[in-house]
Copies of this chain bind each other. A is one copy, B any other.
Amino acid sequence: MSRRIPASTIRRLSHYLRSLEDIEGEGRETVSSEELADRGQTTAAQVRKDLSHFGSFGKRGLGYRVDELRVRLLEILGVDRVWKVALIGAGRIGSALFEYPAFESRGYECVAIVDADPEKIGAMWGALRIRPPEEIESLIGSLGIELFILAVPAQAAQQITDRAVGAGIKGILNFAPIRLKVPSHVAVEDVNLVMQLEALSFAITQRG
């Protein structure tokens, strides 16, 4: 099924989930596709189309039940459970990510930190001891790690990825500025802040 769902749809589902949480926090029990559209800066038709990929929700004229749709979106996005995550790379970006509270609140639990720097290996970050790259396979296996947050230099990224894939990793949030080569069953999301700045300067330049 995932093959047919565009990335923009998935992103909107995440937005709808946040809106539903806000609306539930306001103590309300139903919401219209118009209001979800308004909060997500899209159209009511788009909301209905996005949700239609995953079954039938809501009643014409009555809208959606907030708790029901919220729980269903948690399931669809796979965040109705805990995901074990390893942080690979204990540099500046790794450090900022490690202390980022939003990850854990959504069920992404960092259970291991890996770095190649001998001066960092063995250091404690919170309750976790920084491990050397040689332990990647055993950490994945023994801790049930499914996701990597990869914050290492470009030249190290593919080699670490190959080892993680061999050991059964399922998804990678990639901060290294390269396109990782992975088999089709492994999901990759690239975070490339320079490219996002380029998208801004592109938009401004073409507009001007």
Within 8 A of B (CB), among A100-144: 100, 102-103, 106, 108
Cβ-based interface call for A71 (8 A): no
Q: Which of chain B's residues have a CB closer than 8 A to the CB of A194? A: 14, 102-103, 106, 108
- Evaluate contact between B173 and A196: CB separation under 8 angstroms: yes
Within 8 A of B (CB), among A174-208: 177, 179, 185, 187-189, 191-207
Q: Which of chain B's residues have a CB closer than 8 A to the CB of A39? A: 179
Among A7, A18, A108, A201, which residue has the most Cβ atoms of chain B within 10 A?
A: A201
Q: Mark A148-186, 1 if CB is under 8 A from B, else 0.
A: 000000000000000000000011110001010000010
Q: Which of chain B's residues have a CB closer than 8 A to the CB of A179? A: 15, 39-41
Q: Which of chain B's residues have a CB closer than 8 A to the CB of A68? A: none
Cβ-based interface call for A2 (8 A): yes
Given contacts A106-B197, A177-B102, A196-B191, contact A13 B204 (CB under 8 A): no
- Evaluate contact between A77 and B201: CB separation under 8 angstroms: yes
Cβ-based interface call for A99 (8 A): yes
Given contacts A1-B206, A103-B194, A146-B204, contact A189 B199 (CB under 8 A): yes
Cβ-based interface call for A5 (8 A): yes
Within 8 A of B (CB), among A23-53: 39-41
